Amino acid sequence: MMRDDRVVLQFSSPLEKSLIFRNLLLAGILGCILMMLIVRVFPRKDLDSSWNSVLGNLQKMTGEHCTPLYISRQEEKDFMSIMYDIKDIDAFADVLAQEIPSAADSAKTRTITLLKPVFFPAPKDRPLQLERYQVALRVASYELHNVFNYTVHLDYSSDVFPTYAAYSFGEDDILLSMLSVSRDKIRTFVKENIESQTGVLGVDVARINMSKRVAPTEMWKKYREQRYLFKPYDGYEEHDFVEEAALAGAFVRDL
């Protein structure tokens, strides 16, 4: 005779059965959710102090469900940014509330979700001297999809091009990281190709003057590859600009 080891679940009521299966389903769905998130750290003392504190306390800011990818600072801004890979947003809330304030020596933090992120391969014929910029778009809701789709598929040149783009749905609606040979070049490009789009309410361009990858090399490489807008082909290649400290202006104070 064959032994039957199946477990039969018994419920006291249809409501109990419904609640249990709903919670199991929700847990399964949430377990599959991955997202990128930026934490803006406003320092308690000064930016250099917070920057050094973050670098010295990365282990405290890293958990099973959250990994810092890279950190950066923008020119003339009073905060630094930490980009995270998040697997469990509730677990990350504990890190944000309990670990980051002391690890980053922060007075306050603000979070920015990055949804539907896409990364871009690099043109092989790009100039050696490039500067990194963050381009933040504010867009009317009814044109948001069109603006995002049009922007990521623009015909970029080798001297001004994006490294990633994402919806942000916060103070700004779309964020792009871009490289350019100069401030004038990117401002002209933004004015002619982004500000001119229907539904664009405003665009801010800010130069990144410090940047450092803190994620393991292989993880960051795989992370980008999984989210490429298109796979590298003739004329393009995979490239991690966060590591290239020699870029003029982009990483002049990269550690």
Specify the pTM: 0.77
CATH number, domain at 181? 3.30.70.920
Number of domains in the chain: 1
pLDDT digit string (tens) for 32-63?
446 889 999 999 989 999 999 999 999 999 98
**What pLDDT is attached to residue 233?**
64
In this predicted structure, the answer to whether residue 64 has a pLDDT above a threshold of 50 is yes
pLDDT digit string (tens) for 188-218?
999 999 999 999 999 999 999 988 988 887 7
Domain that holds residue 206: 116-210
Higher pLDDT: 124 or 229? It is 124
Evaluate whether residue 179 is within a structural domain: yes
In this predicted structure, the answer to whether residue 234 has a pLDDT above a threshold of 90 is no
In this predicted structure, the answer to whether residue 86 has a pLDDT above a threshold of 70 is yes
Evaluate whether residue 71 is within a structural domain: no
- Across residues 78-89, what is the average pLDDT? 92
pLDDT digit string (tens) for 10-34?
545 554 444 444 444 444 433 344 6
| pLDDT tier, 2 (very low <50, low <70, confident <90, very high otherwise) | very low
Evaluate whether residue 163 is within a structural domain: yes
pLDDT digit string (tens) for 168-185?
988 899 999 999 999 999
Evaluate whether residue 174 is within a structural domain: yes
27-35, long-range: CB < 8 A, 24+ apart = 30/88, 31/88, 33/87, 33/89, 34/85, 34/86, 34/87, 35/85, 35/86, 35/89, 35/113, 35/114, 35/115
Evaluate whether residue 128 is within a structural domain: yes
Evaluate whether residue 11 is within a structural domain: no
**What pLDDT is attached to residue 61?**
92
Evaluate whether residue 52 is within a structural domain: no
Asked whether 173 and 167 are in contact (CB, 8 A), the reply is yes
Evaluate whether residue 59 is within a structural domain: no
Strand partners, 79: none
